Amino acid sequence: MQTIEAPPQTATPSIERAPRWARWFVWSFLAAFAVCGVVGIEAWPLTGFRLFSHLRHERQTEWQAFAVRPDGRETRLRLSRFPGGYNGFPLVMKSFSSRPQEERVDMCRAWTVAASGLEGETVAVRIYTIDRRLEPRRGGRPTTGPRRTLTYTCAKATVKSEGAISAAG
């Protein structure tokens, strides 16, 4: 597996120098690439390459959405399986609390409309925080079940922050 030929020992004759535009192009591109990589700027496709760079812990938190049917029943909304770009649900929830109220209402409306259209009439969407402990374990699974906390309720063009209602899931 040869990778790169060694550079010639003798200096490249000036007549064979790469054109000026090529030098500018290469150095500008490499400089932008290195600055984004070192500083962590996300000017995609230039990126800071933060892949699994933050520490994970034994306690983990995730988000789950549930549709509330007219009879009050709750069913899990697998938004990641919906067509049309709903698979970012757990990602956008990370910054949901910091979004302006108007934006949160719009997001809630989008989920409610999708739930009604794809899974039957939905009067509200409840968003839960799921806390899991990864240890202790038995049989390949944690021995303690996840703890579910109702965090937001989307209904009638409003978003209500909950927070205190929790239950073992």
> Beta partners for 141?
138
By CB under 8 A, residue 44 contacts other proteins? yes
By CB under 8 A, residue 106 contacts other proteins? yes
By CB under 8 A, residue 24 contacts other proteins? no
CB 126 within 8 A of CB 68: yes
| Residue 126 burial (CB count, 10 A) | 21
Size of the site for other proteins (CB under 8 A): 67
**Paired tokens of 101:** 């109220």
From candidates 31, 70, 94, 144, binder to other proteins by CB under 8 A:
94
Number of H-type helices and E-type strands within the chain? 3, 7
Between residues 112 and 153, which has the closer beta carbon with respect to other proteins? 112
**Paired tokens of 35:** 């600055």
Binding mask 56-85 for other proteins (x = CB under 8 A): xxx-x----------------------xxx
Between residues 57 and 73, which has the closer beta carbon with respect to other proteins? 57
The Cα–Cα gap between 131 and 156 comes to 28
Q: What are phi and psi of 113, to 5 degrees?
A: -60, -45
Shortest gap between Cβ of 76 and other proteins (angstroms)? 14
Between residues 72 and 100, which has the closer beta carbon with respect to other proteins? 100
CA distances from 105 to 39, 99, 112 (A): 35, 10, 10
Q: What's the length of the chain? A: 169
Binding site for other proteins (CB under 8 A): 1-8, 11-12, 16-18, 21-23, 25-26, 29-30, 33-34, 37-38, 40, 42-58, 60, 83-88, 91-92, 94-95, 103, 106-107, 109-110, 113-114, 132, 134-135, 137, 140-142
